[in-house]
Structure 1
Amino acid sequence: MVYAFVLFCLSLFGFVGAFGVETDEMKSVSVIEGDTFTLQTDTEMKKDDLILWRFGAEDSPMAEVNRSAQSISVSESMKGFKDRLHLDPRTGSLTVRNIRTDHSGIYEVQIIGNKILRKTFNVTVYARLPGPVISRDCSSPSSSSYCSLVCSVVNVSDVTLSWYKGNSLLSSISVSDLSSSVSLHLNVEYQDKNIYSCVTNNPISNQTQHLDIDDLCQIHSDSECVCCCDSTKAVIQLVISALVGVATVVVLGFEITSRKAEQKRQTQTSTSVH
């Protein structure tokens, strides 16, 4: 009888507790790899409050603050966050230092007191953007009127690469998955005096490279000759290497044949003497 009463009380407590949970709308947070950011609880902890932080599908808390026990602890099982986490003892807010891209995911905090308050954060960590590089476009045929250019960026994901003329967008290309290289071409007149720039950006940052037409687009410049002749030079080098290889084989074959003939001649001479 007593056992049944205890079970009834526990069930009633759970029923009331379930309706005592307040859940905020999920917040989206974007940060750059290597930065430090803080997830705010937006509350002041009371003496008997307990705050639990979880990451992803982890069952056990990654960190917790217990005001009544005056303790702050970070789970050792969260190896990916080693020495990166800090908890505010007054608010329970969570700070992550030197964050990595694999720290993207869902962070949840439960503030347990007279009622339970639950907050969730969808954190997206973006890799730092490399700067775009502008160079002559060797793949395009040469022209007496236009200078062919290409803007490239390597090892990027979830970025947009764009050409601008002043503040006006000329062209752009976007990639979502990891890409080894992204390129965008542009033709400008040799005597063009407008300001051109190539920009790479993701949702929270950007990198800009301005075009120096006088430097890259000099007619009959040395850089143009190098640009146009790179492929021809590579072919010539391959042909020369092949010829050297063939010549080496011929010389070795001649030496081996000469040695065999000399040995045969010496053997015949020795036999005739005896």
Structure 2
Amino acid sequence: MAAHLGVTCLSVYLTAVLLCYVCANKEKNIFKARERTNITLQTGEHQHNAQAVWIFGAENPNIRIATIKRSGEVKSDYEEHFRGRLLLDRHTGDLTITQVKTSDSGIYQFQSIGTKIITRDIHLIVYSLVPAPFITTTLTVINSSFTSVTAECSVLNSRELMLSWYRGTVRLMETSSPKLSSKLNLSLEVDVADGDNYSCVAENPVERKTTELLGKDIQLGNAENSSWCQNEATIRLLISAGVGLVLLLLLVDHIRL
């Protein structure tokens, strides 16, 4: 009985030591990538003549996707989702994923079992491509000398996307939303007199797209409005002068008679 109890205690002790050892050799890493690119998840350390496996899961790694046997044989066609997109280096254990998708985001766990046990978790986050933001402007003529310009910037939303207005290099305002299927919109009242360049920027942690709204273009539109107002006033003045001349001639003719 005592011997059996001693064996049980020894097993528990060895299990605890093994777990501590595994935890001590377990590294965590975050890898961010843009979709449709090729990425390589590095193991950091792979033992010679060791058996290795890559496991994947959206939240917890539980699906085997690639293995290296002690003989050096590599297999990476376990999952249809990754079929034809995984390249496993049998010497380093590094895993390359080609043409990554947003659905590839999740936890990738590498395990190398040889003279020691090495475990490493890599959290992969794949971001959607960022489209260039679209700008529309609305000009409102207040009077002959002042025009109000409203510029609205919009872009299709995606993971961790932020939409911002800049004047030069200074960020004026920004917006974001957790609703990924929605559109982001951001309006700005533009001062046409300052002559600065404005730009709308859509960005996530791995990509940035910019659409510019040049101040000179806004001023040109304003100048065209002002020119049109001046031309209209000139035409009215000429018409009034013509009418006045006709009336004067009629008056002179009437006096003659």
TM-score normalised per structure 1: 0.69
Q: Which residue matches 1:61? A: 64
State the alpha-carbon separation in 1 of the partners of residues 181 and 46 from structure 2: 45
Q: 1:36 touches 1:99 (CA, 8 Å); kept in 2?
A: yes
The secondary structure found in structure 1 opposite 2:222 is coil
Q: Residues 214 and 20 of structure 1: is their aligned pair in 2 closer, same or farther, counting only changes over 3 Å?
A: closer
Percent of pairs with identical residues: 31
The secondary structure found in structure 2 opposite 1:219 is helix
Q: 1:110 touches 1:119 (CA, 8 Å); kept in 2?
A: yes
State the alpha-carbon separation in 1 of the partners of residues 63 and 156 from structure 2: 39
- Measured after TM superposition, the shift of residue 11 of structure 1 is 5.0
1:161-206: per-residue Cα shift (whole Å, max 9, x none)?
Answer: 1111111111111123304311111122334311211111112221
Q: Which residue matches 2:84? A: 83
- Measured after TM superposition, the shift of residue 28 of structure 1 is 0.9
State the alpha-carbon separation in 2 of the partners of residues 173 and 44 from structure 1: 44
- Measured after TM superposition, the shift of residue 114 of structure 1 is 1.0
Instruction: State whether structure 2 residue 200 is matched by structure 1 residue 207.
Output: no
The secondary structure found in structure 1 opposite 2:103 is helix
1:102-136: per-residue Cα shift (whole Å, max 9, x none)?
Answer: 11111101011111111001111110100011111
Q: 2:32 touches 2:126 (CA, 8 Å); kept in 1?
A: yes
Q: Name which of 187, 190, 195 aligns with 1:193.
A: 195
Counterpart residue identity of residue 122, structure 1: H
TM-score normalised per structure 2: 0.73
- Equivalenced residue count is 211
- Measured after TM superposition, the shift of residue 44 of structure 1 is 4.2
Root mean square deviation of aligned Cα: 2.7
Q: Which residue matches 2:128? A: 127
Q: 1:160 touches 1:172 (CA, 8 Å); kept in 2?
A: yes
State the alpha-carbon separation in 1 of the partners of residues 19 and 170 from structure 2: 55
Q: Name which of 183, 186, 193 aligns with 1:184.
A: 186
Counterpart residue identity of residue 108, structure 2: Y
Q: Residues 71 and 195 of structure 1: is their aligned pair in 2 closer, same or farther, counting only changes over 3 Å?
A: same
- Measured after TM superposition, the shift of residue 20 of structure 1 is 4.0
Q: Which residue matches 2:75? A: 73
Counterpart residue identity of residue 219, structure 1: N
Counterpart residue identity of residue 207, structure 1: K
Query: Which ranges in structure 2 are unaligned for 5 or more consecutive residues?
Result: 226-257
Q: 1:145 touches 1:189 (CA, 8 Å); kept in 2?
A: no
Q: 1:136 touches 1:216 (CA, 8 Å); kept in 2?
A: no
The secondary structure found in structure 2 opposite 1:26 is strand
- Measured after TM superposition, the shift of residue 24 of structure 1 is 2.6
Q: Which residue matches 2:93? A: 92
Q: Residues 165 and 158 of structure 1: is their aligned pair in 2 closer, same or farther, counting only changes over 3 Å?
A: same
Q: Name which of 131, 155, 158 aligns with 1:156.
A: 158
- Measured after TM superposition, the shift of residue 156 of structure 1 is 3.0
1:99-110 aligned at under 5 Å gives the runs: 99-110=100-111
Q: Residues 137 and 158 of structure 1: is their aligned pair in 2 closer, same or farther, counting only changes over 3 Å?
A: farther
- Measured after TM superposition, the shift of residue 81 of structure 1 is 0.9
